């Protein structure tokens, strides 16, 4: 069957084929680092050697052919021959040890976006893994439960390598979160939503201008026309905007509300009911969607309101006695201590498509130094060409204010974040504090990957304590 014939298959068939693959992503949690029930063994650990060696998990990057939905086969890059990469899962207090093998023809690195890890295992562009080589990424999990993700971070090639398929979810668990008894198993669905372009052969094609890669097809967990069979239950969707450049405006097709319970850095203090969320590359959402009152045969979709795209279709196929519930607006999920009294302020202006404070990235230049464990206010200002999803390595931050542009903060920007959208005309202030690892070089950059690759990135050093 040629590609055109494939594409005229009915939606019904997509439902059948795609479900298996989404199921496989959830079931693909082979790589759990369960190091006992002792979640908080070492919350403040600063030395990997403080942990007993865990078993080694293998992760590879290779050129691979995979099904991008509707039976269409595409060549691309894959972690463990899977697109997207396998779901990694680890408990707080455990130690992660991943032997990474690079089977690509290019050098790469693996960055653990959102994870607080030392520079040496942060996937910094200086620390490349050459073709045919391997590298052991080993670090303890020192932070609260949240959805992070892993992706390449090589100098000037991040956009291409991510776009061709290298990205995967990394879920951290802890005791606070497990006590909430949120939906688990097949009711907890990691969802990487991104856009893509295909060439005439049906292969993923990366081509982008200075303002970023914009594809013409949405993919959910690597599939176009993605579909999932669901039960009459509450579902927990762990969603990553995995686009290089595109901002999603996510909603349900029937306009119904869903419940936001978390974001980049884990649980919010209280659930919030919303009907749409605008979130940029690298940002994550933790959503509960209540399908308990649905009937077999009902269909729902996640849509993007800007492009009017269907992102994934849900069909109710099974009526069950629900066991999960949705917390109400006054049910506390977590306690978040606000960062207060910043000791200094830094300003960063994101200019053109490639500069921060007038400079393009230089791997070997350290642009500023941050004292260990001091709260600072960082002010992100756009000099045009926004939105810039600004991302910081090495710590989470709290968003304090947005002035100009949209001129407000949104519920999904409360709690702990590591990526924040700075739109045109906007100034966004965040409070941050690097208090886990001292004497480390970390990155701050625009997560619009073409801006990053063009140089909109900076090195800073967290000083020795």
Per partner kind, with CB cut-offs from 5 to 8 A, the member of Cu ion, ligand C2O, none near residue 417 is: none
* Residue showing the smallest CB distance to ligand C2O in the complex: 113
Per partner kind, with CB cut-offs from 5 to 8 A, the member of ligand C2O, Cu ion, none near residue 451 is: Cu ion
- Shortest CB 113 distance to ligand C2O, Å: 3
Return residues touching ligand C2O (CB under 6 A).
111, 113, 151, 153, 282, 391, 393, 443, 445, 447
- Shortest CB 190 distance to Cu ion, Å: 18
Minimum CB distance to Cu ion smaller for 113 or for 144: 113
- Shortest CB 396 distance to ligand C2O, Å: 13
- Shortest CB 282 distance to ligand C2O, Å: 5
Per partner kind, with CB cut-offs from 5 to 8 A, the member of ligand C2O, Cu ion, none near residue 153 is: ligand C2O
- Shortest CB 373 distance to Cu ion, Å: 20
Minimum CB distance to Cu ion smaller for 242 or for 271: 242
| Nearest to 143, CA basis, from 115, 110, 183 | 115
Per partner kind, with CB cut-offs from 5 to 8 A, the member of ligand C2O, Cu ion, none near residue 433 is: none
- Shortest CB 444 distance to ligand C2O, Å: 8
- Shortest CB 15 distance to ligand C2O, Å: 32
Minimum CB distance to Cu ion smaller for 259 or for 396: 396
Question: Distance between CA atoms of 29 and 171, rounded to whole angstroms?
Answer: 10
Per partner kind, with CB cut-offs from 5 to 8 A, the member of Cu ion, ligand C2O, none near residue 238 is: none
Q: In sequence order, what are the residues at sequence separation of 6 or more whose Cβ sits closer than 8 angstroms to the Cβ of residue 118? A: 48, 139, 437, 440
Question: Distance between CA atoms of 310 and 317, rounded to whole angstroms?
Answer: 20
- Shortest CB 109 distance to ligand C2O, Å: 10
- Shortest CB 284 distance to ligand C2O, Å: 11
DSSP 28: T
Question: Distance between CA atoms of 173 and 22, rounded to whole angstroms?
Answer: 21
Return residues touching Cu ion (CB under 5 A).
113, 388, 393, 446, 448, 451
> Phi-psi category of 61—alpha, beta or left, where left has phi over 0 and alpha has psi -120 to 50?
beta
Question: Distance between CA atoms of 73 and 111, rounded to whole angstroms?
Answer: 27
Joined tokens for residue 72: 């269409």
Per partner kind, with CB cut-offs from 5 to 8 A, the member of Cu ion, ligand C2O, none near residue 282 is: ligand C2O
Per partner kind, with CB cut-offs from 5 to 8 A, the member of ligand C2O, Cu ion, none near residue 388 is: Cu ion
The torsion angle over the Cα atoms of residues 419, 423, 428 and 432, rounded to 10 degrees, is 10
Minimum CB distance to ligand C2O smaller for 113 or for 355: 113
Buried b (16+ CB within 10 A) or exposed e, 151-189: bbbbbebbbbbbbbbbbbbbbbbbebbeeeebbeebbbb
Residue with tokens 């306690």: 335
Minimum CB distance to ligand C2O smaller for 96 or for 443: 443
Per partner kind, with CB cut-offs from 5 to 8 A, the member of Cu ion, ligand C2O, none near residue 448 is: Cu ion
Minimum CB distance to ligand C2O smaller for 402 or for 445: 445
Minimum CB distance to ligand C2O smaller for 125 or for 183: 125
Give 111's strand partners: 151
Question: Distance between CA atoms of 250 and 255, rounded to whole angstroms?
Answer: 10
The torsion angle over the Cα atoms of residues 20, 67, 88 and 279, rounded to 10 degrees, is -100
Beta strands in 117-185 (DSSP E): 134-140, 146-151, 168-173
Minimum CB distance to Cu ion smaller for 312 or for 444: 444
Question: Distance between CA atoms of 278 and 446, rounded to whole angstroms?
Answer: 17
Minimum CB distance to ligand C2O smaller for 246 or for 445: 445
| Nearest to 147, CA basis, from 77, 241, 27, 270 | 241
């Amino acid at each position: 069957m040629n590609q055109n014939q494939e594409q005229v298959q009915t939606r019904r068939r997509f439902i059948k084929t795609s479900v298996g693959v989404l199921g496989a992503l959830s079931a693909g949690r082979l790589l759990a680092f369960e190091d006992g029930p002792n979640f908080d063994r070492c919350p403040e650990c600063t030395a990997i050697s403080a942990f007993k060696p865990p078993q080694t998990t293998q992760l590879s990057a290779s050129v691979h052919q995979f099904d991008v939905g509707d039976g269409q086969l595409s060549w691309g890059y894959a972690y463990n021959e899977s697109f997207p990469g396998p779901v990694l899962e680890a408990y707080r207090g455990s130690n992660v040890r991943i032997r990474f093998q690079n089977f690509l023809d290019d050098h790469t690195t693996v960055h653990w976006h959102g994870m607080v890890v030392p520079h040496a295992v942060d996937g910094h562009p200086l620390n490349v893994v050459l073709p045919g080589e391997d590298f052991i990424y080993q670090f303890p999990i020192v932070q609260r439960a949240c959805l992070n993700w892993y992706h390449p971070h090589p100098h000037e090639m991040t956009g291409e390598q991510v776009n061709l398929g290298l990205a995967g979810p990394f879920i951290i668990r802890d005791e606070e979160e497990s006590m909430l008894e949120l939906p688990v198993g097949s009711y907890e669905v990691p969802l990487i939503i991104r856009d893509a372009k295909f060439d005439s052969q049906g292969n993923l094609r990366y081509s982008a201008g200075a303002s970023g890669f914009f594809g013409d097809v949405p993919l959910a967990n690597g599939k176009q026309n993605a579909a999932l069979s669901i039960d009459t239950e509450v579902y927990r969707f762990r969603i990553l905007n995995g686009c290089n450049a595109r901002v999603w405006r996510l909603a349900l097709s029937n306009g119904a509300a869903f419940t936001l319970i978390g974001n980049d850095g884990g649980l919010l203090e209280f659930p919030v009911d919303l009907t749409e969320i605008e979130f940029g590359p690298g940002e994550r959402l933790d959503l509960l969607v209540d399908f308990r009152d649905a009937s077999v045969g009902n269909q729902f979709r996640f849509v993007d309101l800007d492009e009017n795209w269907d992102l994934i279709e849900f069909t109710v196929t099974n009526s069950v006695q629900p066991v999960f519930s949705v917390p109400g607006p006054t049910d506390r999920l977590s306690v978040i201590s606000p960062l207060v009294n910043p000791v200094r302020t830094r300003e960063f202006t994101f200019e053109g498509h490639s500069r921060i404070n007038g400079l393009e990235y230089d791997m070997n230049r350290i642009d500023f130094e941050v004292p260990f464990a001091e709260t600072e206010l960082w002010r992100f200002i756009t000099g045009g060409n926004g939105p810039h999803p600004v991302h910081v390595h090495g710590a989470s931050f709290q968003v304090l204010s947005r002035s100009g542009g949209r001129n407000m903060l949104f519920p999904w920007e409360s709690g702990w974040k590591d990526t924040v959208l700075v739109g045109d005309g906007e100034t966004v202030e965040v409070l941050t504090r690097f208090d886990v690892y001292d004497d480390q070089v970390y990155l701050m950059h625009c997560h619009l990957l073409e801006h990053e690759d063009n140089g909109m990135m900076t090195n800073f050093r967290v000083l020795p304590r």
